[in-house]
Amino acid sequence: MRTTLLLYILIFFTVACQQQGENKEVIQNKKDSATTITVGVFNKNGDSPYCITDALEAVKIDGDIEARVISAAEIMSGATDDIDVYLFPGGSGRSETGSLGEQGQQKIINLVKTQGKGVVGICAGAYILSETPGYPSLDLSAGEAIDIEHDHRGHGLVKFSLTDAGKKIFPELQGREINFSQYYEGPVLIPAKNSVYKYNELATMESDVHLVEGTPANMTNNRPFIIITDVEKGRTASVVGHPECTPGMRWMIPRLVRVVAKKEIKRYGENVVRPEIYTKEILYTKEQLSKQRSAYNKLIGSKEDKLQGMCDIVDMCAWSAKKWIPPMLRDKDVEVRLLAAKLTVQLERTDAIADLKAAIDSEQDLESKKQFQAYLKALKEMTGK
């Protein structure tokens, strides 16, 4: 009898402990659900895949953001109605709105105005959000794109400054007069005529980009670089450049996601907040483009050529560094592979985590394997998970 009683007591406490653990897990899940921001990165059937990847990887810096790639069909079917923030990446604004179609465009507009959804538009996405006559735009930013006929004006690492409003959103940059970001033929914005909304300028473009023959000078400088706009219940952010693929500045995109989602600002680690790594403007003139081609050609040369070429590509902040550096992890020479790993971390290419894992698995030299593992750890720590 006593043995049976003890057995019942043991079963009772075991079940009670299990229930307590289950309840705790449920509470934790509820807490996660309350703090999670769901982001949908729009994919126009594979248009500009690197821009999609850059945006997707940038928002992953924030551990509270759950991001996935979405399509126009999913938007129309209601499969994205759970999303808090829609993100339109770089690429082609006309292609992205064309993919949405008139009904898809109207659905995004309604989601912002009536349900309080947020939208972040980067480069082409900023075109999409604008109120530009004759352009298939959503009228959600109170900005108008001008000089579209000279859209192909050039690219490079450009200068921007923060307004007082911008310093509140990006306090990490308060003490810096000038900051730098990648730029690739983004829109030139002015206040839209007769708009019922008004944007708040967070950052101002300081670089005068007119690198292609026939493009006018003094068009991009002193124009908005980042704006936010309250649109009835919702909010949008438009970014003219590409901080999402600029090492040290990618964190600006998840910060803007929080702003349009109307969530508290969250600080990110010093491993991703690194505005100090760039100190000068680099515009891709004909001479600079020639240097870039020379550096790319070195990647198929001798070991010494490859080492020098990779360093040159990263030093000149080449737009396609993200495309050419990670594949060098599969070079036949271990020195080249190790430098590629180091530069992949420097470029914050978290999309190359699988490549680095494969390099570790195939590496025979134990000391080199340890170095690869250290680089992999550093890269993983940039994901916020």
Task: Give the mean model confidence (pLDDT) for residues 375-379.
Answer: 97
Task: Give the mean model confidence (pLDDT) for residues 1-26.
Answer: 36
Separation CA 321–CA 370 (nearest Å): 25
Q: If we measure between CA atoms, which residue out of 265, 268, 263 comes closest to residue 37?
A: 263
Q: pLDDT per residue over 269-310, tens digit each?
A: 999 999 999 999 999 999 999 999 999 999 999 999 999 999
Separation CA 371–CA 360 (nearest Å): 9
Q: If we measure between CA atoms, which residue out of 190, 293, 180 comes closest to residue 242?
A: 180
Q: pLDDT per residue over 303-362, tens digit each?
A: 999 999 999 999 999 999 999 999 999 999 999 999 999 999 999 999 999 999 999 999
- Residue 112 has phi, psi (to 5 degrees) of -70, -50
Separation CA 40–CA 119 (nearest Å): 9
SS percent in the chain: helix, strand, coil, step 5: 50, 20, 35
| Ranges of each domain in the chain | 33-277, 285-383
pLDDT at residue 5 in the model:
36
Beta bridge partners of 40: 68, 86
pLDDT at residue 11 in the model:
36
pLDDT, averaged across the chain: 90
Architecture of domain 33-277: 3-Layer(aba) Sandwich (3.40)
Q: Is residue 12 predicted with pLDDT exceeding 50?
A: no
Q: pLDDT per residue over 24-73, tens digit each?
A: 332 222 335 578 999 999 997 656 788 999 999 999 999 999 999 999 99
Task: Give the mean model confidence (pLDDT) for residues 358-384.
Answer: 96
Q: Is 216 left (phi over 0), alpha (psi -120 to 50) or beta?
A: beta
- Could you give the percent of the chain with pLDDT greater than 70? 90
pLDDT at residue 32 in the model:
54
Predicted model pTM:
0.89
